[in-house]
């Protein structure tokens, strides 16, 4: 059912800092409309790998392309063609909802007319009519994250990178957030997501688990559970990701 | 060494951070404050550690009043704030020495208490705190909070942003500390950590939803939960939500957790409905609730909307 069209192609991608190999020859592909979970213990190399994929860190060796663009020679085109949102930074607290959308629309090079349409679309679909002119800083965290997700999709990227998008969010809103993810993936957007909530790993089509710079496992949650003889992703993670510091 | 709160209320400008909170942590207890960001957990910690005045209500820690006896409290508690608050440009060892000195003790004097934790970072004792990994920072912060042998330990979200393996290790450490008799108040947004506490308070939007032992909370929960599975998860959630007799529908790992509006649930009826909607491999079974199910149910039925009360 999922598409054969690849959005990320990674082959033996490596990043070294001096003698330390943070990312060690990782290879994988992600497909159109796929929800791809990118897991690993703290310090396993997830952030370093992700930085290479979003075009802000040059690899030491290996190959990688994202939405058809090469991470070495076309990092700026990658940045323009992907969506990105993280738990730590998503939007400007002292701009209103409308202002944030306008600002990011401008950054992504959308024209005024398109921005206007996007504003009303987002506000309507998230039910933010009453607070559209309120500062983002005044919104509950969960709302902020849902809005940030929509903003990351403003320019209709083929792929969106979500770095722990639901950390600290209340459990009901966390599920609403995942429904947004499902909906977006069903429309063909590839979702590349990191999380520390193991129940969320279950919501992914495929999950990769990094251990000490390498991808130690990559499969559907179902197959991983079978392979590691456990009934939850938590069990898989505990078996694989021995914490090394 | 008891902690008591009586009718504690605190507002910041327009937002009420915590409202009329009362509970008690018994001597030697490992007590968890479980709730999302903005629930008011940090506000409670700051009031109890004498860093913030409540607008209303009273609180005591180890028999001391948080307002009148604030100096005594500061000497007898350990506090690990949610944000890393050690000196980034001091080394591991220097940080620990600094905290020991401030409290008029030495590392040697209380080494036994921190030994388990500190040995894991001791190989890096000459490294600056700012250069440590997240997990190591957390262990150093805990060592510093313990170095004066506190009677009461406050840990504000010690495991936030930490991976599941490290979280498990941290809780093992906490359990061992608690076994030594240190009264511990710990907060977390991870509902699965609730089971490791003696008692918990579920907190959302400045209000307490429930206080009891995790096992009592689970036993007393009356709603039967069903696991529902089918081949297309997203469509399954949508269709279950449209099933007129549903009470709640929440994704839960590989299943959807479903509750029925009354006690007359018929798996056959639901299965038939889903199959008519085109679902394949429909599977339904009864399951027992976890703390997260109960948290969602309580916050939904008490209609407490999440707010953002971060300061």
Q: Rounded to an integer, what distance in angstroms lies between the CA atom of residue B295 and that of residue B299?
A: 6
State the pLDDT confidence band at A141, using cuts at 50, 70 and 90: confident
Q: Rounded to an integer, what distance in angstroms lies between the CA atom of residue A42 and that of residue B92?
A: 19
Q: Which residues of B touch A241 (CB under 8 A)?
A: 163-165
Angle subtended at Cα A169 by Cα B239 and Cα A180, rounded to the nearest 5 degrees: 35
State the pLDDT confidence band at B140, using cuts at 50, 70 and 90: very high
**What whole-number percentage of chain B has pLDDT above 70?**
97
Which domains, ranges and CATH numbers included, belong to chain B?
3-219 (3.40.50.300), 222-288 (3.30.70)
DSSP A56-123: SS--SEEEEEETTEETTT-HHHHHHHEEEEESS--S-TTSBHHHHHHHHHHHTT--HHHHHHHHHHHH
User: Chain A: nearest CA to B234, how far in angstroms?
Assistant: 6
State the pLDDT confidence band at A16, using cuts at 50, 70 and 90: very high
Q: What is the pLDDT of residue B305?
A: 52
Asked if B196 has any chain A CB less than 8 Å from its own CB, the reply is no
Q: What is the pLDDT of residue B290?
A: 94
Residue B208: which of B21, B2, B25 has the closest Cα? B21
Asked if B134 has any chain A CB less than 8 Å from its own CB, the reply is yes
Q: Rounded to an integer, what distance in angstroms lies between the CA atom of residue B182 and that of residue A10?
A: 50
Interfacial residues of A (vs B; Cβ cutoff 8 Å): 40-44, 138-142, 144, 164, 167-173, 175, 178-179, 182-183, 185-186, 196-199, 202-203, 221-222, 232-234, 237-238, 241-243, 245
Residue A162 pLDDT greater than 50, yes or no: yes
Sheet holding A159-163, edge to edge: A82-86, A159-163, A190-194, A35-40, A206-211, A214-219
Q: Poorest-confidence range of B92-96, B134-138, B274-278, B291-295?
A: B134-138
Name the most confidently modeled range: A8-12, A46-50, A139-143: A8-12
Q: Rounded to an integer, what distance in angstroms lies between the CA atom of residue B7 and that of residue B129?
A: 39
Averaged pLDDT of chain B:
92
Residue A242 pLDDT greater than 80, yes or no: no
Residue A105 pLDDT greater than 60, yes or no: yes
pLDDT digits (tens, 9 = 90+) for B144-165: 999 999 999 999 999 988 888 8
B308/A168 touch (CB, cutoff 8 Å), yes or no: no
Average pLDDT score over residue span A39-56: 92
Contact between B234 and A182 under an 8 Å Cβ cutoff? The reply is yes
Contact between B185 and B18 under an 8 Å Cβ cutoff? The reply is no
State the pLDDT confidence band at A1, using cuts at 50, 70 and 90: very low
Contact between B113 and B62 under an 8 Å Cβ cutoff? The reply is no
Tokens describing residue B175: 């359990």
Q: Nearest Cβ partner of B161 from A172, A196, A198?
A: A196
Residue A96 pLDDT greater than 50, yes or no: yes
User: Chain B: nearest CA to A111, how far in angstroms?
Assistant: 33
Residue A221 pLDDT greater than 90, yes or no: yes
Q: Which residues of B touch A182 (CB under 8 A)?
A: 233-234, 237
State the pLDDT confidence band at A245, using cuts at 50, 70 and 90: very low
User: Chain A: nearest CA to B205, how far in angstroms?
Assistant: 10
Pairing mode, strands B183-188 and B152-155: parallel
**How many of the other CB atoms lie within 10 Å of CB of A105?**
21
Asked if B253 has any chain A CB less than 8 Å from its own CB, the reply is yes
When comparing pLDDT for B311 and A154, which is higher? A154
Residue B306 pLDDT greater than 60, yes or no: no
Residue B304 pLDDT greater than 70, yes or no: no
DSSP B249-282: EEEETTEEEEEESSS---HHHHHHHHHHTT--S-
Helices then strands, each counted (H, E), chain B: 10, 14
Q: What is the pLDDT of residue B144?
A: 96
Q: Rounded to an integer, what distance in angstroms lies between the CA atom of residue B296 and that of residue B273?
A: 26
Q: Rounded to an integer, what distance in angstroms lies between the CA atom of residue B91 and that of residue B89?
A: 6
Residue B84 exposure: Cα atoms within 13 Å on the Cβ side:
19
Average pLDDT score over residue span B134-146: 90
Residue B196 pLDDT greater than 50, yes or no: yes
Tokens describing residue B177: 């500390």
Does domain A6-89+159-240 fall under CATH 3.40.50.2300? My reply is no
Asked if B188 has any chain A CB less than 8 Å from its own CB, the reply is no
When comparing pLDDT for B269 and B37, which is higher? B269
Average pLDDT score over residue span B96-112: 94
ipTM of the complex: 0.85
Average pLDDT score over residue span B116-131: 92
Q: What is the pLDDT of residue A238?
A: 87
Average pLDDT score over residue span A63-90: 92
Average pLDDT score over residue span B217-222: 94
């Amino acid at each position: 059912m999922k598409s054969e069209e690849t959005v990320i192609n990674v082959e033996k991608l490596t990043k070294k800092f001096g003698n330390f190999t943070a990312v060690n020859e990782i290879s994988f592909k992600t497909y159109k409309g796929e929800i791809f979970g990118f897991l690993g213990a703290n310090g396993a190399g997830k952030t370093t790998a992700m930085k290479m994929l979003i075009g802000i860190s040059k690899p030491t060796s290996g190959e990688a392309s994202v939405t058809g663009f090469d991470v070495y020679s076309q990092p700026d085109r990658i940045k323009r063609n992907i969506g990105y949102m993280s738990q730590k930074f998503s939007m400007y607290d002292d701009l209103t909802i409308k202002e944030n959308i306008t600002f990011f629309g401008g950054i992504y090079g959308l024209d005024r007319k398109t921005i206007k349409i996007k504003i009303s679309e987002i506000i309507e679909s998230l039910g933010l009519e009453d607070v559209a002119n309120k500062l983002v800083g005044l919104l509950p965290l969960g709302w902020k994250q849902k809005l940030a997700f929509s903003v990351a999709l403003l320019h209709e990227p083929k792929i969106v990178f979500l770095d722990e998008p639901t950390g600290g969010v209340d459990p009901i809103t966390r599920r609403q957030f995942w429904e947004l993810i499902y909906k977006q993936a069903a429309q063909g957007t590839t979702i590349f997501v990191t999380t520390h909530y193991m129940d969320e790993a279950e919501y992914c089509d495929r999950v990769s688990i990094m251990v000490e710079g390498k991808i130690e496992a990559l499969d559907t949650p179902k197959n991983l559970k079978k392979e590691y003889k456990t009934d939850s992703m938590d069990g898989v993670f505990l078996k694989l990701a021995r914490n090394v510091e | 060494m008891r902690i008591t709160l009586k009718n504690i209320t605190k507002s910041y400008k327009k937002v009420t951070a915590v409202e009329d909170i009362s509970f008690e942590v018994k001597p030697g207890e490992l007590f968890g404050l479980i709730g999302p960001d903005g629930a008011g957990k940090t506000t409670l910690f700051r009031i109890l550690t004498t860093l913030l005045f409540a607008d209303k209500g009273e609180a005591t820690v180890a028999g001391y009043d948080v307002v009148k006896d604030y100096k005594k409290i500061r000497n007898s508690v350990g506090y690990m704030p949610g944000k890393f608050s050690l000196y980034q440009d001091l080394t591991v060892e220097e940080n620990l020495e600094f905290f020991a000195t401030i409290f008029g003790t030495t590392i040697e004097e209380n080494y036994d208490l921190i030994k388990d934790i500190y040995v894991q970072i001791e190989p890096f004792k000459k490294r600056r705190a700012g250069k440590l990994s997240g997990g190591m920072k957390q262990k150093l912060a805990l060592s510093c909070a313990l170095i004066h042998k506190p009677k009461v330990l406050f840990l504000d979200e010690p495991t936030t942003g930490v991976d599941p393996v490290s979280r498990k290790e941290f809780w093992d450490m906490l359990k061992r500390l608690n076994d030594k008799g240190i009264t511990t108040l710990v907060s977390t947004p991870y509902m699965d950590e609730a089971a490791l506490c003696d008692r918990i308070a579920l907190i959302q939007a400045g209000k307490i939803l429930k206080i009891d032992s995790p096992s009592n909370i689970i036993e007393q929960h009356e709603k039967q939960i069903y696991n529902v599975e089918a081949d297309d998860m997203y469509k399954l959630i949508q269709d279950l939500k449209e099933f007129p007799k549903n009470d709640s529908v929440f994704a839960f790992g590989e299943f959807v957790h479903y509750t029925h509006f009354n006690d007359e649930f018929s798996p056959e009826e639901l299965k038939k409905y889903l199959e008519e909607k085109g679902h394949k491999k429909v599977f339904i079974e009864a399951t027992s609730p976890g703390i997260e199910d109960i948290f969602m149910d309580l916050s939904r039925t008490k209609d407490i909307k999440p707010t953002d009360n971060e300061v």
